[in-house]
Structure 1
Amino acid sequence: MTQNINQGITQGEINSSLIITNHRLNGKNFLQWSQSVLMVIRGRGKLGYINREIPRPTIADPTYATWELNNSIVMAWLINSMEGHISRTYLFFKTAKDMWDAVKEKYLDFGNASQIFEIKIKLKDIRQGSLEVTHYYNNLKILWQELDMYYEAVWGEGLEHNRFMTHLNNECLYEFLAGLNRELDEVRGRILGRSPLPTIGEAFAEVRREEKSRLVMMGDSKEPKLMTPISNRPTESFALISKGPQPQKHARNDSGSTRPWCSHCNRVGHTKEKCFKLYGYPEKNQKDNKTAMLSSTTADDLDVRLTKTQLETLHKILGTPTTHGSLATQGDSTLFHTYTPCHNKS
């Protein structure tokens, strides 16, 4: 151990975890597994042990012990990143390079048309649905990256390379826009109407801004509407602000019929042109006065939602109408918790 430390192998490196990735090789995920494994091995400076840039020295070479130690560490990383039924078949290899080559030969097949076809099917069928745009886009991006691993074409540099990259971008753009939900048709149309087409990253950013804007607007519209003190029903406050109350406006009652509405006293049962508070009660016979008073008191002030029996009981409590339209004082005041006469003693 002292010799290894003196040769540049730290105690921390020797004791480091032998599990280097959560992507365990299961026979169907070589692309993801290999990228994850290579990233860690490269980051720890051991890539030369699987690509033979660090060749195996002879046993007499003074660096042999260091090489053998590092080779064993890399082999342990590979073994521990595989499923048990796969790792058992690679336990008896002598070098990390031999093990890596055997895994590649068995599980890597860039010409495997069935794997390319499977990715294409997923790209064709994937839709946003209930996902947020960001989640939907990330799902697509994973499939695009997997598909890129199967492309063997080398387009070099210059004009041909730029044309090929533009073609790939447009293909991704079409797939992304095709799977968006219908409520994003407007922003989809704006993007497709541009020439040249934007990059897939630019299109995603614009769609995401549109989604956030729509969510804010929908959040405002979901706020509870104002409730009128008379009817206890939601009112369209925006319409009232823009148009104002109209003299002949009618309100729909619980039975489905409409009743006149007064813009002066804000009550139902009559219009502003016939409001007694503006023009006084008409000088007619006592029967008309009594009817007007009852209409104003019961239907307007209370917005009647009582049965006939309940109204009769209320009249008995308050008193009966007199011939002058006011209420007599023979009602039973003991039925109230508090009782205070009006200022004019009526």
Structure 2
Amino acid sequence: MTSSTNQFPQLDVKLSGSNYREWSVSVKLLLDALDLTDHINDTSPPADEKKLKEWNNADRRTRGIISTSVEIDIRMQLVSFTTAQQMWAHLQKLYEQSSHAQSYAEFQEITSAHQGERSIQEFYSFMQARWRQLSIMDESLCQTCLACTCATKQTQIRDQQRLFQFIMRLRPEFEALRGQLLHRSPLPTIDAALAELIAEETRLRVLHSSSPSTPTVLAAPNQVPPEPLSSTNSFVPRKNKRNIQCKYCQLWGHHIQDCRKKKWADQQRHSPRGYPAAASTLQIEHPFNTSSNNSNLNNSTPKEPESSPQTSSAPPGSSNRDFDWTGP
């Protein structure tokens, strides 16, 4: 007596609605291995009573395989059908048309795909999964077409397109090898190109790991923003000095920190007692004190000696103001 596992072998994929093509191919392969393909085709049951009983038993097995390979919500739709062919036709009618949207989604993923941080092998596995999905959704050729030269040419064109789709989405570091592959005649197969790309990836990885690390001197130095100028060192254009008034001497044209009167007063306040500042310092550091300068000048200028009657050369009876010298 056969076990239930042999009667109802389980598939590794279940129909969820969007994977009809993949599911249908898997079910067909299983039914073909069990010699049950006639039960999903339009083949009529035999008229012989003995053969009809065997056919019904095989049809029940086929229905069990189909019902256990779909999701539970889809399985509930198949309760009313009495033959495997009716179940198969119902599922085909519902979900085969939706495979076109799945094909569009696969093409969209291929178009927007890039290698990114993945290795060559990882990116190839990703692309291969997309190509496999598209192959499942393609219409299969008959056995006669598979033997002709047109099918071989069609397969070569498909492989060439896949090669282009794969190498055009690699990282820029493979640009040199990509150019070499495209300039070969005939073009290499995708398997040969994959082997060369993996070897180039290994070479670049070894070269990168053996190269010394970038010295810190080559790193861009941190740019320290310049310190703002203090008020004492601030530059004031000449044309704007007329708008500046000193808060100490109330004169226009300079700040209080540049006031020479204030500097002179501070120097006098901090000088030792009994030791006044030098006259030269007073003249240089305190040029605006005009009254003090004038008094010093008056005190330092020697007075002219008064004229006396004994030393005057003017004739008697006349003053110096009215004296007129005519000469001999």
Short-chain TM bin: 0.5 to 0.7
- Return the match for 2:45 from 51, 56, 63: 56
Task: For residue 177 of structure 1, report the CA deviation from its aligned partner.
Answer: 0.5
Q: Judging changes above 3 Å, is the alpha-carbon distance between structure 1 residues 141 and 35 closer, same or farther for their aligned structure 2 residues?
A: same
Equivalent residue in structure 1 for 2:95, among 107, 122, 126: 107
Cα separation, partners in 2 of 1:81 and 1:153, compared to 1, 3 Å? closer
Letter in 2 for 1:96: A
What does the per-residue CA deviation read over 1:51-89, in whole Å, with 9 as the maximum and x for residues that have no partner? Answer: 255x4235x612333322221121111111111111110
Identify the residue that residue 43 of structure 1 maps to in structure 2.
33
State the shift of 1:220 in Å.
4.5
> Which residues of 2 match residues 144-293 of structure 1 at below 5 A?
144-152=131-139, 156=145, 160-221=150-211
Cα distance change, pair 193–56 in 1 and its aligned pair in 2 (3 A): same
Q: Residues 133 and 68 of structure 1: is their aligned pair in 2 closer, same or farther, counting only changes over 3 Å?
A: same
Residue 91 of structure 2 aligns with an amino acid whose one-letter code is: V
Provide TM-score, normalisation by structure 2.
0.57
Q: Which has the higher contact order (CA 8 A, sep 6+)?
A: 2
Task: Supply the RMSD in Å over aligned alpha carbons.
Answer: 3.1
Counterpart AA for 1:56: P
Q: Which of 77, 87, 109 is the equivalent residue of 1:89?
A: 77
Aligned partner letter, 1:44: L
Query: How many corresponding residue pairs?
Result: 214
How far the C-alpha of 1:25 sits from its partner, in A, is: 0.8
What runs of 5+ residues in structure 2 fail to find an aligned partner? 218-328
* CA distance in 1 between partners of 2:8 and 2:203 (Å): 47
One-letter identity of the residue aligned with 2:33? G
Distance in 1 between residues matched to 2:169 and 2:180, nearest whole Å? 16
| Deviation of 1:160 (Å) | 4.0
Distance 1:16 1:161 in 2: 37
After TM superposition, the structure 1 stretch with the greater mean CA deviation from structure 2, 60-69 or 136-145, is 60-69
Distance 2:38 2:140 in 1: 26
Quick one: percent identity of the two aligned structures?
Answer: 23
- Rg comparison, structure with higher value: 2
* Residue of structure 2 equivalent to 1:127: 114
Which contiguous aligned blocks of 4+ residues in structure 1 show a shift greater than 6 angstroms? Answer: none
Note if contact 1:90-1:99 (Cα within 8 Å) is conserved in structure 2: yes
Please give the secondary structure, in 1, of the residue aligned with 2:10.
Answer: coil
Aligned to 1:72: 60
Displacement after TM superposition at 1:19 (Å): 5.5
Unmatched segments (≥5 aa) in structure 1: 1-9, 226-233, 236-251, 253-346
Inter-CA distance 41–216: structure 2 relative to 1 (3 Å threshold): farther
Shift of 1:15: 4.4
Tell me which residue corresponds to 1:320: none
Q: Distance in 1 between matches of 2:61 and 2:7?
A: 10
Q: CA deviation at 1:179?
A: 1.5
CA contact (8 A) 1:123 1:140 kept: yes
Question: What CA distance in whole angstroms lies between the structure 2 residues aligned with 1:21 and 1:151?
Answer: 21
8 Å Cα contact 2:21-2:137 kept in structure 1: no
Distance in structure 2 (CA, Å) of the matches to 1:89 and 1:96: 13
